[in-house]
């Protein structure tokens, strides 16, 4: 399950000339992470120059999207929110993270004594 949220707004002040910014937030697959995600994402978007109305709209949509990910994506360890902020648009993606590969046993190759090949 992948969700995308798009919002257009001209950014205020000196951030109009910024290059597009992309960042990813990764959270544990549990409902207590939703308020943390809202807080971190809201503060970050505010510091990038988005107005409160835009941030409020985005947080509402991404909260619903991430809640759906937690409900319907099946078991998992994490989910992620990827944000792309440009001069006049914000795109948010919410999706379960691919599970990290399980660490395998350490491989060690030993040769029997006396074998040089």
Structure confidence by residue, pLDDT tens digits, 59-95 = 999 999 888 888 887 777 888 888 888 878 888 888 8
Q: Is residue 104 in a domain?
A: no
Structure confidence by residue, pLDDT tens digits, 35-44 = 999 999 999 9
Structure confidence by residue, pLDDT tens digits, 90-112 = 888 888 876 555 555 544 444 45
Structure confidence by residue, pLDDT tens digits, 10-39 = 445 544 556 788 989 999 988 899 999 999
**Full residue range of the structural domain in which residue 76 is found:** 3-96
Q: Is residue 44 in a domain?
A: yes
pLDDT for res 108:
43
For residue 115, the Cα-to-chain-centroid distance in whole angstroms is: 51
Please state the domain count of the chain: 1
Q: Is residue 111 in a domain?
A: no
What pTM did the predictor assign? 0.65
pLDDT for res 4:
47
Q: Is residue 112 in a domain?
A: no
Is 70 buried (19+), middle (13-18) or exposed (0-12) by CB count in 10 A?
buried
Q: Is residue 106 in a domain?
A: no
Q: Is residue 32 in a domain?
A: yes
Q: How far apart are CA 93 and CA 33, in angstroms?
A: 16
Residue 2 — very low, low, confident or very high, per pLDDT cuts 50/70/90? very low
CATH, residue 70:
3.30.565.10
Q: Is residue 38 in a domain?
A: yes
Q: How far apart are CA 61 and CA 6, in angstroms?
A: 9
């Amino acid at each position: 399950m992948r969700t995308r949220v798009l919002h257009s707004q001209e950014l205020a002040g000196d951030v109009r000339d910024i290059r597009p910014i992309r960042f990813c937030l990764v959270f544990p697959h549990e409902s207590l992470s939703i308020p943390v995600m809202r807080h971190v994402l809201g503060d970050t978007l505010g510091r990038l120059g988005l107005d409160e109305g835009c941030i409020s709209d985005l947080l509402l949509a991404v909260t619903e999207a991430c809640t759906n990910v937690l409900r319907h994506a099946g078991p998992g360890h994490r989910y992620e929110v990827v944000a792309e902020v440009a001069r006049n648009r914000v795109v948010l993606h919410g999706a379960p993270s691919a599970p990290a590969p399980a660490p395998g046993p350490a491989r060690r190759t030993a040769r029997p004594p006396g074998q040089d090949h």
